[in-house]
Amino acid sequence: MTTPTINLRDSVILIAEGSQYLSMIVHGILRGFGAHKVMEVRSSLEVLQALTGQKIDILLCDARLPPHGGLNLTHAIRRKVDSENRMIPILLMSSDTREKTIKQARDAGANMVIAKPISPANLYDRLAWIALTRRQFVDAPTYFGPDRRFKIEGYPGGVGRRKGDQVEVAEESGPALAQDDIDNLFSAAQSGKD
Amino acid sequence: MPDDSTQRIRIFSVETRFQKLARRGGGVPRNAAIENAQSKIEEAKPGFEGWLTQEVQLLADLINSVKEGHAPPGWIDVASDQSAQLRDIGTTMHCELVTFIASSLCDVLDAIAAGSPCNMDSIVCHVDALLVARQKPYRDMKPEQVPKLTSGLRKVVDHVSVSPS
């Protein structure tokens, strides 16, 4: 099997992690992968400010990101119709990898979830999967995000699909944040309020 | 006749800027990238020892103040966040025992937050275990190398989790 190579040199990567120390470790790992443009923020409002102020190529987001959590933030980014970053790849970092949480992340519009504690191999494989796998987007009244009907046959050159993994089509779930709340979040981010 | 909701569903292909950039040649091959990243982790290790000592001490101080009846508001959330940090970083820095104990403590705190009785002994024994695990030679041990400790903590978690609310 050939191992994949991804070029992260020019990608602008945003790490959204409440823990400064963990953020620094992930930053170091990405530097090891050859990434040069890595930014760090500590809250969802700072993420929205970064997304409105500049071009971000991929977001690595903690599922427990203060104050609203990474799932709500993902949902807010996907639901913001006039945002140019609406289709940004989002990799959620979570220590809670129960099936329920993974489904919630998927239904919020995350591209993928990576389990904490993070290992360099797992992070590289997930970034490679997001970079090298073609996945369609779905725009529906109750969902906007990567097609949830996908199947991991194995990360490119990395770990294989787990034996017990099952593929299924998600049921619709209601938005965690109302559209007004999402608009307010973006307004607060644009006006620089925290 | 299809209903309105299915008519409004649009499926389309996207190639993001991240994909375009990442697919270009000249990147760092997987094995080399992982090796470089491990080197970065090793570079951060001296600082990690200080960080670990400080974070465990902060948690121990918090739990001590709760034991002495000076519980600050929201102390369960603060303890949960501190434990989660230790859990999330331990294994990345090759301290699997720290992650194991902190993860077990997170389970205890989650159970209490969900309504189980607040048994301080169940928390204190985890903090004591963390105070030991932050030191050499325990810091570099794996959970399977200290079976009595791990099975003891598992029993504590089971006890807290099944306690009636």
CB atoms A140 and B29 under 8 Å: no
Task: Please name the residues in contact with A22: beta carbons below 8 A apart, sequence gap of 6 or more.
Answer: A62, A116, B85, B88, B89, B92
Beta bridge partners of A13: A38, A58
With an 8 Å Cβ cutoff, are B33 and A34 in contact?
yes
Query: A6 CB contacts (<8 Å, ≥6 apart)?
Result: A33, A124, A127, A128, A131, A132, B22, B23, B27
Q: Does the structure show a pLDDT above 60 at A170?
A: no
Q: Does the structure's ipTM exceed the value 0.90?
A: no
Q: What is the mean pLDDT of residues B109-123?
A: 90
pLDDT of residue A148: 86
Strand partners, A60: A15, A91
Q: Tell me the pLDDT tens digit for each residue of B76-108.
A: 999 999 999 999 999 999 999 999 999 999 999
Judged against a pLDDT cut of 60, whether residue A162 lies above it is answered with: no
Q: Is residue A4 part of a domain?
A: no
Q: How far A194 CA lies from chain B's nearest CA (Å)?
A: 21
User: For the domain that residue A181 is a member of, what is the CATH number?
Assistant: 3.40.50.2300
- The mean pLDDT of chain B is 91
Q: Name every chain B residue with its beta carbon within 8 A of the beta carbon of A158.
A: 30
Residues of chain B contacting residue A51, judged by C-beta atoms under 8 Å apart:
none
Residue A104 pLDDT exceeds 80: yes
What local confidence, expressed as pLDDT, does residue A89 receive?
A: 97
Q: Which residue of A has its CA nearest to B39?
A: A32
Q: Which chain A residues have a beta carbon less than 8 Å from that of B38? A: 32, 120
Count the domains in chain A: 1
pLDDT averaged over chain A? Answer: 84
Domains of chain B: 46-162 (1.20.120)
Q: What chain A residue is nearest to B55 in terms of C-alpha separation?
A: A21
Rounded CA separation A166/A73 (Å): 27
Is A88 part of any domain? yes
User: Considering the domain boundaries, does residue A119 fall inside one?
Assistant: yes
Which is more confident, B105 or A166? B105
Give the range of the structural domain holding residue A40, as residue numbers without chain letter: 12-190
The token pair that represents B39 in the structure block: 């080197």
Chain B: closest CA distance from residue A11 (Å): 6
Answer yes or no: is A130 within a domain: yes
- Name the residue among A28, A33, A139 with its Cβ closest to that of B28: A33
Token representation of residue B50:
């200080």
**Percent of chain A scored above 90 by pLDDT?**
62
Nearest to A11 among B5, B21, B43 (CB): B21
Position A5 in a domain: no
Q: Could you give the CA distance from residue B92 to residue B23 in angstroms, rounded to a whole number?
A: 27
pLDDT digits (tens, 9 = 90+) for A69-89: 999 999 999 998 888 899 999
Inside any domain, residue A2: no
* Phi/psi of residue A149, nearest 5 degrees: -90, 75
- Is A116 a residue whose pLDDT tops 90? yes
Q: Is the model's pLDDT at B6 over the cut of 70?
A: no
Contact A137 B14 (CB under 8 A): yes
Q: What is the DSSP string of A35-53?
A: --EEEEESSHHHHHHHHHH
- Reported confidence tier of residue A167, pLDDT bands at 50, 70, 90: very low
Is residue A3 included in any domain, yes or no? no
